Amino acid sequence: MEPSRASQIDPAVFWPAIFIILGFVGWGTVFPEDLSSISKVVLDAIISGFGWGFVVSSAGFLVFALFLAVSRFGRIRLGQDDERPEFRTASWICMMFSVGMGIGLMFWGVAEPIYHFASPPHGQAAPKSLEAALLAMKYSYFHWALHPWAIYAVVGLVIAYFTFRKGKSNLISAAFTPILGEAASGPIGKAIDVLALIATLFGTATSLGLGAQQINSGMNFLWGSGVSNVIALTIIGVMTVLFILSAVSGVGKGIQFLSNMNMIIAMLLLAFLVCIGPTIFIFNTFTESLGFYLSDLVSMSLRTAAFSDGNWLGSWTIFYWAWWISWAPFVGVFIARISRGRTIREFVIGVLLIPSGVTFIWFTIMGGTALHSELFGAGGIVDAVNNQGAAVSLFALLAQYPFAWLTSLIAIFLVAIFFISGADAGAVVMGMLSSRGALEPRSGVVVLWGVLAGASAAVLLVMGGLQGLQTASIIAAAPFLVVMVGLCISLWHSLLDELEEGKARRPLPTSAMRGTVDVAPVAPEAVP
C-alpha cells in the first residue's frame, strides 16, 4: 500500500539531497569561479581515470538489454501475468521519447553533424569533405540511438520489474533487495536513492540550460532580442513555472497531452524539410549512414583514449554516456511508471528499437539537410555555429527555406514544450524518489524539486554555459554508473530465481507420473 500523504516524505533521502543541492546552488551563486575551477579538476580526473568505465559499461548495457529481449526471459510480464498495458502504445512511445531526449534532439539535431563535419572525429577525414559528412552522420547516430536508449531501458526495466511484478516500492534502492537483502532498506539503500536524486536533478538542469539557450537564440533570430545570460535566466524562470504547473496535473494529463502534441508537431516539421529540402539526398543519406553505423558499431562502442583523441572522446562520447546515465534515474523511473503490463520483450523493443529508429530519421533529416547545404548549397551553417554557438544551428538551417519565420516559431514552440514535458517528468520522479516511491507524490514536493532544478540550471549556465552544463552531468553520473551495474546484477539474480520457481511449479512430465503408477502394488495381506 502507498504511504499516507502525511508520511510520504522520506527524511533520510529528502534532507541529505536537499542539503547537497542547496549547498551547490549557494556555492555557485556566491563563488561561481571557485566552483567552476574545482569542477574542472574533478571532471579531468573522471575522464582520464575512469573514461573507459563509461565506454565499457554503456556497451554492456546494450548487450544486456538485447539479450533479455531475445531470451526466454522476454516473455515475463512487468506486472501480474494477466495484466495489460495502462497506456496505448502510441502514447507510451510519445511520452518516453519526449521525456527521454526530445529537447536534446532539438538542440543537437543540426549542431552535432555540423560540428563533426567541420572537425571530424579522431581526425578520420579531411574537414568539410564528403567523408567528413558521412562520419558526422555515423557518430550522431552512435551518440543518440541504441546506446542511450539501452541505458534508459536497463534502469526502466529493473524498476518496472521489481515494482509491478515483485511488489517492491518504486525506488532505485528497492531493486537491490536480491543482492543486499535488508540493507536495501537501510543506510546503503538511502545513499543509493540520494545518488539517484542528485543525478536526476543535474541531468534535468543540463537540459533546462540547453533549452533556454536555444529559445534565446531563436528569439534573437526572429526578433533581434539579443543573446545574454539575463534573457536565458528569464526563460528558465518562466519555463520552470510552466513545467511545475504541468507536473502537478499528473502523468496521465499533462505529460501525456504534451508528449502527443510534441510528436505530431515535430513530425510535421520533419515532413516539411523532407518535401521542400533535398529529398533524394536525405533518403540516400539515411541508407548509407545507417549501414556505415551498423558496420562499425562494435569498434565505436569500445573505442577508448588509449589510441584515440582523449580530448575529443571526453567532450563528445564520454560526455554523452555520462549525460544519459545522469538522466537514467528519472527517465528510467518514468518509463517504468508508464510501462506496467508489458512483457520484457515488448518493453525492450519499444524502449530500445522504436525510439532509435525515430532518432535515425531525425538526424538524417535535420543533419542531412544541413550537410547538403554545406556541401552543395548556400552553406553558412558552420560559420553561424562557430560565431554564435550550437544553439543557433537549427534556426540557421530553417532560414535557408521558405516560411523561415513560421518554421522558426514552430521550432521555438517545440523546444519550449519538450522543455516543459522533460522537466515535468523530472520533477515528478524526484518527488517519487524522495517520497518512499509514491506513484503520486504530493504537489508541494514536486514544486520544490522543480524550483531546485530551475535554480541549478541557472547556476550552471552562469558558471560556464554549455561547458558548465556538460561538466555537471559527467560528475553527477560517475557514481550512478556503479549503481546501474548493480541494478543489472540484481535483475539477473531475480530473473534466475523466477526461472527456478517456474520450474518447481511446473507439472511433472507424463512419463514421470506414469513411473509412480508402475510400482508393484503391496499385497493386502502384507499390510499389518
pLDDT tens column, 462-471: 766 656 666 7
- Digit-coded pLDDT (tens) for 298-307: 999 999 877 7
User: What pLDDT is recorded for position 519?
Assistant: 43
Q: Is the dihedral of CA 221, 222, 225, 228 positive or negative?
A: negative
pLDDT at 5 over 80: no
Lowest mean pLDDT among 5-9, 119-123, 209-213, 272-276: 5-9
pLDDT at 503 over 50: yes
Q: Which of 24-28, 342-346, 412-416, 514-518 has the highest mean pLDDT?
A: 342-346
d(CA 170, CA 398): 43
pLDDT at 44 over 90: no
Could you give the count of Cα atoms lying within 13 Å of 307 in the half-sphere of its Cβ? Answer: 5
What average pLDDT does range 418-425 have in this prediction?
Answer: 76
d(CA 141, CA 134): 11
User: What pLDDT is recorded for position 524?
Assistant: 40
Q: CB of 371 within 8 A of CB of 285?
A: yes
Amino acid at 161: Y
pLDDT at 528 over 90: no
Q: In this predicted model, which residue has the larger pLDDT, 110 or 310? A: 110
Q: Which of 43-47, 235-239, 346-350 has the highest mean pLDDT?
A: 346-350
Mean pLDDT of the chain: 85
Q: Whats the size of the chain, residue-wise? A: 528
Q: In this predicted model, which residue has the larger pLDDT, 418 or 514? A: 418
Q: Which residue has the cell 555555429?
A: 385
pLDDT at 373 over 80: yes
pLDDT at 2 over 50: no
- DSSP code, position 304: -
With bands split at pLDDT 50, 70 and 90, how would you rate the model's confidence at 379?
confident
412-415 contact pairs (CB < 8 A, 24+) = 412/215, 412/218, 412/219, 412/222, 413/265, 414/106, 414/262, 414/265, 414/266, 414/269, 415/103, 415/106, 415/107, 415/211, 415/214, 415/215, 415/218
- Digit-coded pLDDT (tens) for 285-300: 999 999 999 999 999 9
- Digit-coded pLDDT (tens) for 426-453: 888 888 889 988 878 888 888 888 888 8
pLDDT at 155 over 60: yes
Lowest mean pLDDT among 236-250, 257-271, 412-426, 508-522: 508-522
pLDDT at 233 over 50: yes
Residue 39 in grid coordinates: 569542477
User: What pLDDT is recorded for position 526?
Assistant: 38
- Digit-coded pLDDT (tens) for 53-79: 999 999 999 999 999 999 999 999 999
With bands split at pLDDT 50, 70 and 90, how would you rate the model's confidence at 151?
very high
Q: How far apart are the first and last CA of the chain?
A: 56
pLDDT at 513 over 70: no
pLDDT at 150 over 70: yes
What average pLDDT does range 344-366 have in this prediction?
Answer: 93
Buried b / exposed e along 3-15 (16+ C-beta atoms within 10 A): eeeeebbbebbbe
Q: In this predicted model, which residue has the larger pLDDT, 26 or 12? A: 12
Residue 151 in grid coordinates: 541505458
* pTM score of the predicted model: 0.87
- Digit-coded pLDDT (tens) for 473-489: 678 778 889 999 999 99
With bands split at pLDDT 50, 70 and 90, how would you rate the model's confidence at 253?
low
Rounded percentage of the chain residues whose pLDDT exceeds 90: 43
Residue 144 in grid coordinates: 543518440
Residue 173 in grid coordinates: 534502492
With bands split at pLDDT 50, 70 and 90, how would you rate the model's confidence at 517?
very low
User: What pLDDT is recorded for position 250?
Assistant: 56
pLDDT at 512 over 70: no
Q: In terms of C-beta density within 10 A (0-12 exposed, 13-18 middle, 19 or more buried), how is residue 254 classed?
A: buried
Alpha helices of 78-228 — where are they, by DSSP H?
89-118, 130-144, 146-160, 177-180, 187-223
